[in-house]
A and B are shown apart, each in its own frame.
Chain A
């Protein structure tokens, strides 16, 4: 069973702190690694991102990959922040999992080091684990543009609004996979899912990837296996694409 040792864990944790503290911090001679897979998870506030990440990590951990989760939340105006995503990942199965690393960040304002250093931080994390999951509030909220530094971008949608909302949401063009998060309090989930499939799914992006839409229920952990399948399909697609060119 693969695991992250305590030495690795502490180096990773303290390295990330340095990146966040000093905008221009770099570790020289750090080679790019390609074997690591970076998944980005975005979505508007309360769409259910962190709730979704919990079963997502569990499913990925079952396949014996080591996982690092970087969770980004906005800071308040006064500089303080309440980072509660980690609490959502509390679970008897994950609490003491030695193949899992969880780290929460506050953005510390719009033009902070985090915005600049995030690609470097992800690059650094790649050296320690098989899969990196990055969660941010996404477009407009934190100004962290993660689509450029991840391999697979998942957008979590809450079934709110109708066709027009789907046209509007800013990041829709960039995401590879959409997850419509079903919840009790929304009654028109089925309809919204159908609309999302029409508007967002089955479109092919510049690289030739056909977008996919999944219906999940993060709280009741339904549809997660299918979502993970979709993620793997995208990874395979990326690898195949890379194959001939190298």
Chain B
């Protein structure tokens, strides 16, 4: 943060089809936002087209659906992209998307050097947090580094990687780990780019970092300060950037030492009950970010944990930021509380802890090796179990009743969301129509030729970006990634994570209940989504109850789950579904189990969903065991199980 340069108000957008997002972007302009943060829907993030079998109930749901370059063109129609800073939250398929964005800029006659913005493009990060992974680690990193190299050379103002501590923190890791992980990733990328013959100061000024703003204010402010301190030290010690003698702000060597931070307020602190209370939480968190000196801030809307925020939610979020910026008075003082004893102690503690973690990862052999031995995953998992147990305890504490209590206004507070969500259910159909029209209008031979050229380039070692920029004009996202997968193979199986510590903690959750006979449970993660906190928690909870857990892994369609459940002859199927239209997903599973003649298998589900969706699943589909973090009581599920399978 600088005295005369205020943080960008970067509001979240991206929903439905290109048309809907375009309207939302224009609205954000009107509300006073100064930048965009565009989210894609899960099929796009996982490099699938909207008509892929896994994409059911997900199209346009938690972001905009992008299948073709036409979608990108329509999304920015009438928006001056050369004057706006645009951020894209996309990793595994970042190169493909960026190629589409560049080809749109080309079509509109905008020079690449005039584009400003950020693309997340942190593939290491995906391996330990959201598992948004399409290729084996080595090839995935190559694709990401291709994009970085291309941007570093031709788009000087583009932040080509945003190493995120946000996602691991949202998966409940410790704040020190939140600093250490993105830095370890950045070190990894820097080494790769150096190998390609670039100089450190050529690319390092365009590294950006993405942190969370959580509830604990002092710790959060200290976190941003510790991060800046540690990054400067890393660039100096590891990459031999000299400590500047004179502060020429345009000097790329000096800029390489800057840790530029984008902050999003913590989505995991938003509560489902009494949703309007979230406005207060967000307001606090925005203040921490301002005091911590963030370059760009995204305030969550109070309803963001249910869905892509409603219009009302977006307006309040932008206003929250504007109020903190103009009315709190803190924005005139860069590092307002620097020197305060408590803050300095806290900063030092986080700095030391994070430094130790970076050293641990470096000693394992760098972030790539650490991911292979599942070091970050284990660390996140261990802390997550502790945090979940803590929040479970809060429910019973008399002075924390505001936290989980419901009240009578709740239904009416959610009425807007319910109405907007009803409209959103039509997105899938509309996008499929768009995709069909696009596929009808092109020459099949051109598509085949293009895909062949992509495959050839993938086999060789050249930079893929020029090939992709040409390819995106005729091929869809799904086709390009399928071609790349044919050459490189799919992602490696996800590593298994269990830990003694967490099993003890989960024992508390189950209340000591154990199955009387050996039970067989199949656990799977439905759809594209790769959030694994709930998945691993489920695995540990069932194991604590003495069950044999069969791990089916990520990205399962209802058909695959049903086949596995029948073959394994399990007693229960546990499914974690986070994003998309949850009732549709559970209904599909029920139908598939019915088709294979195993309707008797009990379904246990968990995930984030709207109260009305939970009601639909429980009442219409008759699936009683649904655990929604924050509102449901796990004891209820345990007693259901006791009833069915005996004490």
Contacts and interface: CB of A to CB of B under 8 A. Distances in A.
A10 B566 contact: yes
B546 A79 contact: yes
Given A87-B494, A95-B557, 18 more contacts: A10-B598, A13-B566, A13-B568, A16-B569, A76-B543, A79-B546, A80-B548, A80-B549, A81-B548, A86-B551, A90-B493, A95-B560, A96-B563, A102-B567, A103-B567, A103-B569, A104-B568, A219-B492
B217 interface: no
A82 B518 contact: no
B564 A13 contact: no
A88 B493 contact: yes
B506 to A, nearest CB: 11
A75 interface: yes
A239 interface: no
Contact of A17 (B498, B569, B598): B569
Interface in B512-569: 518, 539, 542-553, 557, 559-560, 563-564, 566-569
A219 B518 CA distance: 33
B447 to A, nearest CB: 21
Contacts of B563: 95-96
A173 interface: no
A106 interface: yes
A31 interface: no
Contact of B552 (A81, A82, A87): A87
Given A91-B490, A102-B567, A96 B560 contact: yes
Interface string B235-274: 0000000000000000000000000000000000000000
Q: What 7 A-B pairs have minimum CB-CB distances, sorted nearest first?
A: A87-B553, A13-B569, A80-B543, A81-B548, A84-B551, A17-B569, A106-B548
6 contacts: A82-B551, A87-B493, A88-B493, A96-B560, A104-B550, A219-B492
B569 A80 contact: no
A244 to B, nearest CB: 39
A87 B490 CA distance: 14
Interface of B: 490, 492-494, 496, 498, 518, 539, 542-553, 557, 559-560, 563-564, 566-569, 596-598
A103 B597 CA distance: 18
B559 A9 contact: no
A82 B567 contact: no
Interface string A71-100: 000011011111110111011100110000
- Category for how many chain A residues contact B: 20 to 34
Contacts of B567: 9, 12-13, 101-103
B597 A6 contact: yes
Contacts of A79: 518, 546
A14 interface: yes
Contacts of B498: 82
Contact of A10 (B492, B553, B597): B597
B539 A82 contact: yes
B486 to A, nearest CB: 11
Q: Which residue, A9, A14, A86, A91, has most C-beta atoms of chain B within 10 A?
A: A86
Nearest to A98: B563
A108 interface: yes
Contacts of A6: 566, 596-597
A108 to B, nearest CB: 6
Most buried by A among B492, B518, B553, B557: B518
A103 B520 CA distance: 12
Contacts of A78: 546
Interface in A89-136: 90-92, 95-96, 101-104, 106, 108
Contacts of A91: 490
A92 B482 CA distance: 12
A67 B548 CA distance: 24
Contacts of A75: 548
Contacts of B598: 10
B548 A90 contact: no
B551 A81 contact: no
B550 A83 contact: yes
Contacts of A9: 566-567, 596
A69 B518 CA distance: 22
A82 B549 contact: yes
Nearest to B492: A219
A106 B568 CA distance: 11
Contact of A86 (B490, B546, B564, B566): B564
Interface string A155-187: 000000000000000000000000000000000
Contacts of A81: 543, 548-549
B551 A83 contact: yes
Contacts of B547: 80
Interface string A1-24: 000001001101110110000000
A103 B496 CA distance: 19
A80 B559 CA distance: 27
B518 A108 contact: yes
Contact of B490 (A16, A82, A92, A104): A92
Nearest to A4: B567
